[in-house]
Amino acid sequence: MSRRGGPEPTPETAAILAGIAPVGPPSARPLVLRGRRFDAASPAVMAIVNRTPDSFFSGNRHADLESARAAFLDAVAQGADIVDVGGVRAGQEGEAVDADEEIRRVVPFLQWARTEHPDVILSLDTWRSQVAREAAGSVDLVNDTWAGHDRELVHVASAIGAGYVISHTGGLPPRTDPVDVTYGDDPLDVVRDVVEVLGDGARVAERAGIPEERILVDPTLDFGKTTAHSLEVLRHTADVVALGYPVLQAISRKDFVGEALDLPPEERLEGSLAATAVAAWLGATVFRTHDVRATRRALDMVATIRGDRPPRLALRGTRRDHAANGS
């Protein structure tokens, strides 16, 4: 008889029962910044504050100082662990922004944010070393979204004691949109290129003096990639995690989500959260997002399903639940 008092299970069911084992998804590599540790049990939500009038997502255009301050405070209130501040639109559309204008947009704002919330981890989204140098003392992380185009940037990040994000852009220079991008005939060639480039970049950062727990690797979906490339890389998040560094996934409302569902940026929240859940299950540590509260809840749920984080309540089906319901 079976343990439940019924008939013995069929051979097929018995084989399944014998093979059941604890769930073993890849474990997120820890990131340590400003004395805080982020890992599988507590992945980090990175909020976005774009000090630009032309961000691709209209809900995150904060050229006006008061709008930017309100967005920052709202992100913190909703549970952001890191706030990533940028002063230049990533794509080639929009206005040209030189280094002086970028500094004007982001550095005073970062100084204000550091004074207003000294415990919040501040990230600077830039590819220019002179901008990072001007932000010394106000930033904990330099988010180099253009794959070391400015070779001095990693050394400036090290000198100012900041962490550093390694990105993958398929070799494209800053503010270049991908056109006719290919990585080879095998669909996995893009994954191989991502893993190789990120591994090389991480070793450069270590040689520059940045500790490995402060080095993030970002597959940089959409940048230098078609939608098919981004989806393939997302499926292989675990292979990026295997490099041994914390992984940043910047998924929020991107074009690969929009093209997968044929939706504009304003309607991509659900698709972004689905992709976020997949990346979290596969071991990513940090998630850059326009939607802090929704992303925080999705990540907490994934961490709980994985078994890395206990439920906040566990009453269902217990004596305490029975008593609370007056049964």
Question: Tokens 């084989």 sit at which residue?
Answer: 15
Q: What is the pLDDT of residue 283?
A: 97
What 208-212 contacts at long range (C-beta under 8 Å, 24+ apart), as own/partner pairs, is 208/154, 208/155, 208/157, 208/158, 208/164, 209/158, 210/154, 210/157, 210/158, 210/163, 210/164, 211/32, 212/244, 212/245
Q: CB count, 10 Å around CB of 13?
A: 11
Looking at the domain that runs over 25-312, which CATH code has it been given?
3.20.20.20
Is the Cβ–Cβ distance between 279 and 236 less than 8 Å? no
Q: What is the pLDDT of residue 1?
A: 40
Q: What is the pLDDT of residue 69?
A: 94
Q: Where are the beta strands (DSSP E) in the chain?
A: 31-33, 36-38, 44-50, 82-86, 121-125, 141-143, 163-167, 215-218, 248-250, 286-289
Distance CA 254, CA 107 (A): 26
- What are the distances in angstroms from CA 120 to CA 34, 115, 156, 299? 8, 10, 21, 19
Q: What is the pLDDT of residue 324?
A: 59
Q: What is the pLDDT of residues 271-325, one digit of tens each?
A: 999 999 999 999 999 999 999 999 999 999 999 999 999 999 999 988 776 555 6
- Mean pLDDT taken over the chain: 91
pTM score of the predicted model: 0.90
Q: What is the pLDDT of residue 254?
A: 96
> Hey, CA dihedral for 272, 276, 277, 278, is it positive or negative?
positive
Provide Rg for the chain, Cα atoms. 22
> What are the extents of the domains in the chain?
25-312
Residues of the chain with confidence (pLDDT) below 50: 1-2
